[in-house]
Chains A and B, each alone.
Chain A
Amino acid sequence: MSLILVGLSHRTAPIELREQVDFAARDMGGAVRALAGKRTTDECVLLSTCNRVEIYAAAGDPGAARAGIGRFVAEYHGVPVERIDPHLYLQRDAAATQHLFRVASGLESLVVGEPQILGQVKAAYLTAAGEQTTGPLLNRLFHSALATGKRVRAETGIGEGAVSVSYAALSLARKIFGDLSGLSALVLGAGEMAKLTATHLQSQHVRELVVSSRTMRSAAALAGRVGGWAIPWEHMGRAIEGADIVVTATGATEPILTRDRVQAVMRTRRNRPLFIIDIAVPRDVEPGTGELEEVFLYNIDDLQSIVSESFARRTHQIEQADAIVAAEVERFVIWLRSRHAVPTVVALRQHFEDVRRAELKRLEPKLAGLGPEARARVDDVTRLIVEKLLHAPTEHLKSAPDQRTIDDWADALTRLFSLSAGELDEKERG
C-alpha cells in the first residue's frame, strides 16, 4: 500500500478554479466521508484551504486512486474533470510526506511561515479521524506532520513578522496609508481569517475597528475580543463610507461588494483612498472594483506579490526549516519503508514462537517434575532467547536503505525459514 497525495494549489491552479473546488465552505466531514465511500482509497484526509485542495490517501493502486480522486473532486463540485485534471499533481510516499511536512511548516504557503496553516492541517486530520477515514498510515503521517510544523515554528522563528496573509496585507496598508493608527478599519465576516486580521489590525492600534457579520452575535463576539464594535450587516454600506481599510473574509458564495456599490461609496468619500483586502475564497469583492480611482483591491492571490519581500528576509529561517523538514521526512520515510517489512518480521516472529512452543510441548514430560515457578522461568528464558536472536535481523530489515533491499531480504528470510504464506497473510491481516 502506498501513500499518495493528489491536489491542486495556488502554484498550479488559478483562483477561479480553486474557488470552484473549495471544500472548506461546505461540509468537510461529509466530503471526506463521501470520498471514503468511493472506496478508491483505503485511508484519506481532505485538506482544503484558500490556497490548496489536497487529498492524502493510502491506496493499493496509486494510479487508479489518482483518477478516482480527480473524478470525485469534479463530481462533488460539478466541474468537468478535464478542467481540473491539468492542474492536479500526484505525489507518492517520500515526496508526498515531504510536501505535507512543508505545508504544515508554512513553507508552501503564499506567505511563507504563515501560522494558520498548521491549525488547518490539524483540523483536516481531526475531521477525517472523526469520520474514521484514517488508518495507521495517515494517523502516523499527520501526527508527524503536526509535530514537524510545531518544531519548525519553535526552532526557526519563521512565524515571526509579516508571516500570515492578513499580516502581509497590513504591510501593504502601511505602504498606502503610512501610519495605521489614525485609520478606521472594517472587518466583514467573523470566521478564522477575519479574527486573525482583526487581531492584527488591533495590534496596529487603528483608531476604530468595526466588525460586521451576517450574524450579529458572532460579530459582537469578535468585536468584543479585539476591542472594536459590531454593527448589523444591513449597516455595512455606511460603515464602508467611513472606513479606510475594509477586510472581507465572509463565507459568501456571491460577491458582497460589487463595483457599482463601491463606486457609489467612493463618490461620497470624495475619493479618499480605500484599501480592500479580500481574503475570502470564493472572493467577496467583484474583481473590477480594483479599477476604481483610489481603490486598492487585493485578494489572496495578489498578496503573492509581497511574498517575495518577506521571502528574501526569511532565507536563513527557510534554510533551517528545510533542514528540520528533511530530517523529519527521513525519519518518517524509514518508518514508511519498514511497514513493507512488517509482514515478514511478524511471520518470522510467529515462526520462532511456534518453534519455541512446539519444543516446550515436546519437552513437557521432562519438565513435569518442575514446580510452577521453575516452569515459568523456563518459559521466560526461552522467550528471551528468541527475542534476542530476532532483534538484530528485525531492526536491519526495518531500516534497510530502500524498498528493493527490503523486498530482497524479506524474500531471503521467507525462503531460509520456510515462512508459510499462511503466516504472512495471517499477520498482514492483523
Chain B
Amino acid sequence: MNLLPLALYTAAAAAYSVHFMRGDRRSGRFATAGLAAAALAHTFVIGMRTMELGYAPIAGTTAAVSAFVWLLALAYLYIEITTDERTMGAFIVPLMAALQLIPALTPDAAEARSAVLRTPLFTLHVASMLFAYAAFALACVIGITYVLLFKEIKAKDVGFFYRRLPPLARLDVMNERAVRIGWLFLTAGVAIGVFWALRVRDTYSDPRVQAMTIVDPKILVALVCWAVYSFQLVARRFGLSGRQAALLSAVGFAIVLLNFVPVGYFLTRSHNF
C-alpha cells in the first residue's frame, strides 16, 4: 500500500528537479501538484492503517519512517505555499522518495501494540521527535543549498545556483528557524520520553522499557543530536558563521538519519518496536 505514495514522491522529485533546471512556473506547479498528490495518497495510507489498527502507526522504525516522510511532506508543502519558494523541493523531495522506499519495501507488521505504548504521552513523544526530525531535514537541505550558493559566490563563479537559489541571508534565516523549531520539538520529545520512561519503568517489566537508559544507542545518539543542535544555536551568538552553521545542520541531520535507520533497526535495545 505504501507503493503508491512512493511512486508519487518519485514523480514529484523528478518534477522538482526539472523545475530546478528550467526555472519555469509551469513545471513548478506540476511538481507541487505531484507532491500534494503524494502527501494526499500518503495520508490515505496512514489513515487506512490507523483505522485498521485502531491507533496511529507511528511507533516502530518502519512506521516511524513513513510518518516522518508524511510530516516532512506536509511541513515542506506548508513552507512552499507560504513562501512561494520552490527551489528547495529539488533537494528535499528526493529525500522523501528515498526514505519512503523503507516502508514501501518492508512488509507491514500488523502486530498489536503493547499496552505500554498506548499512553498519550508516548504518542506525544514520538510525534514530537518526528516533527523535530522533519524540521532538521529541512534545515539540512537549506544548509546544503546555502553551502552550494556560498561556494559559488566565494569562487566568483556565479551561475547555476546563483540564478536559482534565494539569497544567502534568507537561506541562513530559514536554516536557523528550522533548527530552532526542530530543537524545541527535540527537547520536548526527549523530555516527554524521559518523563514517560520514568513513569512506566516500575509498572511494566517489558525489557525494552528497562533498557531505556542513557547508554542505549538510540537514546545516546538522540542526545548527541540535541547537543549538536544546541551548540549550533548557542555558537551562532558567538561568531559561528552562516556556512559553519549550515554545515553543522547537515552533520546534525546525518546523525538523525543514522539514529533513525541503522541504529533504529539494528543497535537499539530500547526502541525496537
Q: Which residues of A are found within 8 Å of B166, using beta-carbon distances?
A: 178
Bound form: Cα–Cα A202–B112 in Å: 68
Task: Determine whether A294 belongs to the interface, using a CB cutoff of 8 Å to chain B.
Answer: yes
Which size bracket describes the interface of B in this complex? 20 to 34
In the bound complex, CA of A267 to CA of B238 (Å): 10
Residues from chain A with Cβ under 8 Å of B156 in the complex: 298, 302, 305
Within 8 A of A (CB), among B92-119: none
Total A residues in contact with B, Cβ cutoff 8 Å: 20
Interface residue ranges of B204-254 to A (CB < 8 Å)? 238-244
- Give every chain A residue within 8 A of B149 (Cβ-Cβ): 175
Q: How far is the CB of A361 from chain B (nearest CB, A)?
A: 79
Most chain-B Cβ atoms within 10 A of its Cβ — which of A175, A267, A293?
A175
A293 touches B241 (CB 8 A): yes
Contact between A271 and B241, CB atoms less than 8 A apart: yes
Would you call B168 an interface residue if the criterion is a C-beta within 8 Å of the partner chain's C-beta atoms?
Answer: yes
**Digit string of A229-256 for contact with B (CB within 8 Å is 1, else 0)?**
0000000000000000000000000000
A176-B168, A305-B158, A308-B159 are known contacts. Are A296 and B153 too (CB-CB below 8 A)? yes
Residue interface bits A166-184, CB-to-B below 8 A is 1, else 0? 0000001011111000000
Q: How far is the CA of A296 from the CA of B162 in the complex (A)?
A: 14
State A416–B149 Cα separation when bound (angstroms).
75
The minimal Cβ–Cβ distance linking B234 to chain A, given in whole angstroms, is: 13
Known: A177-B167, A271-B239. Contact between A306 and B158, CB under 8 A?
yes
Closest to A270 in B: B239
Q: Contact at B153–A294, with CB atoms within 8 Å? A: no
Chain B neighbourhood of A309, CB < 8 A: 158, 162-163
Q: Are A177 and B168 in contact (CB under 8 A)?
A: yes
- Closest chain-A Cβ to B151's Cβ sits at a distance in Å of 12
Q: Is B81 on the interface with A (CB-CB < 8 A)?
A: no
Distance A293 CA – B151 CA, assembled complex (angstroms): 11
In the complex, the answer to whether B157 meets A293 with C-beta atoms within 8 Å is: no
B158, B163, B241, B243 pick with most chain A CB within 10 angstroms: B158
* Interface-centre pick from B153, B156, B170 (highest chain A CB count, 10 A): B156
The verdict on B154 contacting chain A, using a C-beta distance below 8 Å, is: yes
The 10 closest A-B pairs by CB, nearest first: A270-B239, A178-B167, A271-B241, A178-B169, A302-B156, A294-B241, A271-B239, A178-B170, A177-B169, A305-B158
Which residues does A use to contact B, with CB under 8 Å?
A: 172, 174-178, 267, 270-271, 273, 290, 293-294, 296, 298, 302, 305-306, 308-309
